[in-house]
Amino acid sequence: MSELLLDGETYNYLWLTDRSNSKAQQILRRYHGCTERPCCQCLTDTRNRQLVIKTRCQRYYLARKADTSHHHAEWCLLYEPTETGGPSAKQKPAIQYEGDTVNVKLQTRLTRASFTTKQTDDKPVAEDKPNLPRSKAASLKPGRASTGLVGFFHALIQKAQLNDWQPQQTERPFAASTRALEKAAQTVTLEKQQPVAERLVITLWERSLEHSQAINLSALQTRTANLQQAAIVVGEIMECRNSTKVEGSLGLKLKLLNVPLWLPRPVARTAINSFGKLFSEIGKPDRRILAIAAVFRNKTSFVVSDIGLIRTNRQFIPVDSSYELQVADKLIAERRAFSKPLKLEDELRYLPDFLLHDCQVPWVMEVFGITNDDKYQAQKLEKLQYYRDHGIPCWQWEPAVDKVMQDFPVNELPSASLDQEADDFALTINGNGERITAGQ
C-alpha cells in the first residue's frame, strides 16, 4: 500500500487524495504552498519521491514532480514507467485545469462552416459528417488532444460534484441538479478561452412548467441567433420518435423544452450506433437519460449536428450499466458516502466503478457484469490482482454468479448528522410532481 510521509505523519495515499474527504482536504489545505511536502515511502533510496500539493476547483490534490514517476517502486500507485515518447505521449490533455477553471478542447465543431444543410421546407438534412476528427491535421502536429461531448459532459458533472454523494443528502432533484450544472459551467472554457456559458443551454426548472419552458426556449433561441453557431444543449430526454416527414431522422423531446431537437439521418444513425442501449432506456422510471447536443438553428427548427448520451440514476449519479444503477441506488438507500469516478485524467491506472469513502480507508467497488468475453475476463483479473498488490480493499459483485448483491463493507465513519434525520430537509412538491428540497 502506498504511504506518504508528511510533517512526521504517515498517510494512506488513497485516503489523502480522496477529494471528497474533508479531513484529508483540510490537511492538504494546511500544507498547500508550504515547504513541507508529502513524500512517498515506497522505497528508501534518495531519489525524489516528493509530491506537490496543488489546488483546482476549490479542491486540493497531489501531483508528482516531472520525471519522478519511475523513482517509485513498481508496486507503488505512483509508479509509471519512463515515457517511451511517440507523438501521442506528448499530446496535451483535452481537459485542462488552471486554478478554478476547466478548459476543454472539443472535437465537436460549433461553427457551421463544416456543417451544411439542404434547406427544403423544414426538412433539415446534414450532408456531410461534421464531427469526424481532422485526422490528417492531427497526425501532422501532436498539439492537444480533444474530447467528445460525453467527455465534456463528464467534466461538467465532476465540476458540479454530481458524481459525489454525501449521506446527509436525501434527494437530489432535477431543479437543484441542473442549477448545479449551470453554476459549474460558469468556470468552464472552450478553446481560445471562450466561456462555455455563452454557448450552453441547460434546461432549467423555474417557478412553473410554462415559465420554465419559456426561459429554456428563449435561451435556445438566443444561443442560436447567429445561424453559423451552435448552442450546446443539455437536458433529460423524455421521448425520442421517428420523424414522419424525413425517413431515418429522429425528433428528441427534452424535459422542460417544448420544441423538438431534430437529428438528421446521418447524425441519428451515428447516435444509435454509439448509444443504442441508452435510446432504448428512455422513459424508464428508475433512471434518467441525459443528452448533450450541438444544435444549430435552421429556419424554425433546431437541428443536432452531434450528440452524446449518458445514463444516471434518479439522483444524477452517472452509471455505466443497470447493475451499477442498482449499486448506486442501494448505496444511497443505505446512506453511504461514495463517488463515481469519471474518465477525465489518468490519476489511477484503473478506473473503479465506485469509490466508497466512509470506511477507514477508501474501498474500490467493482461490478463485473459481462461474462462471455475473454478479454473482459482477463482485464478483470488483472485489475483485481492490481488491487491486491497495492493493498486496496475491493468490494465486487458479479451478477451472473450472485443474483443478490452482497452487503457493502461496514460503514466505519458514522456521520454525526445522520441522527438529525430529515428534519433539516423539509420536502415540498413542485409543479412538476417532483420533490424539491427546501432551500435548493
Which is nearer to Zn ion, 40 or 268 (by Cβ)?
A: 40
Should residue 72 be labelled a site residue for Zn ion when binding is judged by CB under 5 A? yes
- Measured in degrees and rounded to the nearest 5, phi and psi for residue 341 equal -70, 140
Q: Grid coordinates standing for 125?
A: 438534412
Which is nearer to Zn ion, 80 or 171 (by Cβ)?
A: 80
Exactly one of 6, 53, 62, 76 binds Zn ion (CB under 5 A); that residue is: 76
Stretch that binds Zn ion, among 69-77, 176-184, 222-230, 377-385 (CB under 5 A): 69-77
Which is nearer to Zn ion, 2 or 298 (by Cβ)?
A: 2
Which is nearer to Zn ion, 78 or 234 (by Cβ)?
A: 78
Least separation, in Å, of the C-beta of 43 and Zn ion? 7
Q: Within 352-391, which residues bind Zn ion (CB under 5 A)?
A: none
Least separation, in Å, of the C-beta of 12 and Zn ion? 12
Least separation, in Å, of the C-beta of 45 and Zn ion? 11
Q: What is the DSSP string of 109-137?
A: --BGGG--EE-STT--EE-S-TTS--HHH
Least separation, in Å, of the C-beta of 350 and Zn ion? 17
Which is nearer to Zn ion, 80 or 320 (by Cβ)?
A: 80
Cα distances from 254 to residues 283, 319, 386, 428, in angstroms, run 11, 20, 42, 24
Cα distances from 92 to residues 11, 185, 405, in angstroms, run 31, 22, 41
Residues 6+ apart with CB under 8 A from 427: 170, 171, 435, 436, 437, 438
Which is nearer to Zn ion, 1 or 204 (by Cβ)?
A: 1
What number of chain residues touch Zn ion (CB under 5 A)?
5
Q: Within 297-316, which residues bind Zn ion (CB under 5 A)?
A: none
Q: 14 in helix, strand or coil?
A: helix
Q: 59 in helix, strand or coil?
A: strand
Stretch that binds Zn ion, among 19-27, 64-72, 243-251, 335-343 (CB under 5 A): 64-72
- Measure the CA–CA gap between 119 and 387, rounded to whole angstroms: 56
Stretch that binds Zn ion, among 75-83, 156-164, 232-240, 263-271 (CB under 5 A): 75-83
Distance of CA 24 to the CA centre of its chain: 22
Least separation, in Å, of the C-beta of 359 and Zn ion? 22
292 DSSP β-pair partners? 234, 308
Least separation, in Å, of the C-beta of 343 and Zn ion? 23
Which is nearer to Zn ion, 40 or 257 (by Cβ)?
A: 40
Torsion-angle region of 299 (φ positive above 0: left; ψ -120 to 50: alpha; else: beta): left
Should residue 342 be labelled a site residue for Zn ion when binding is judged by CB under 5 A? no
Stretch that binds Zn ion, among 73-81, 91-99, 227-235, 251-259 (CB under 5 A): 73-81
- Are 132 and 146 spatial neighbours (Cβ–Cβ below 8 Å)? no
Work out the widest C-alpha separation in the chain, in whole angstroms.
74
Q: Within 31-50, which residues bind Zn ion (CB under 5 A)?
A: 40, 42
Residue type, 257: L
Least separation, in Å, of the C-beta of 41 and Zn ion? 7
Give the torsion sign (CA, 301, 307, 309, 314).
Answer: negative
Which is nearer to Zn ion, 76 or 257 (by Cβ)?
A: 76
- Are 341 and 165 spatial neighbours (Cβ–Cβ below 8 Å)? no
Which is nearer to Zn ion, 6 or 156 (by Cβ)?
A: 6
Which is nearer to Zn ion, 42 or 294 (by Cβ)?
A: 42
Least separation, in Å, of the C-beta of 4 and Zn ion? 8
Least separation, in Å, of the C-beta of 25 and Zn ion? 21
Exactly one of 14, 16, 78, 156 binds Zn ion (CB under 5 A); that residue is: 78
Least separation, in Å, of the C-beta of 7 and Zn ion? 18
Residue with cell 465486487: 396
Q: 97 in helix, strand or coil?
A: strand
Q: Grid coordinates standing for 135?
A: 485526422
- Measure the CA–CA gap between 209 and 75, rounded to whole angstroms: 56
Stretch that binds Zn ion, among 15-23, 71-79, 215-223, 276-284 (CB under 5 A): 71-79
Least separation, in Å, of the C-beta of 388 and Zn ion? 17
Residue 299 DSSP one-character state: T
Least separation, in Å, of the C-beta of 383 and Zn ion? 20
Pairing of strands 363-367, 394-397: parallel
Cβ burial of 414 (10 Å; 0-12, 13-18, 19+) is: exposed
- Are 53 and 37 spatial neighbours (Cβ–Cβ below 8 Å)? yes
Which is nearer to Zn ion, 49 or 159 (by Cβ)?
A: 49
Should residue 172 be labelled a site residue for Zn ion when binding is judged by CB under 5 A? no
Give contact residues for Zn ion (rule: CB under 5 A): 40, 42, 72, 76, 78
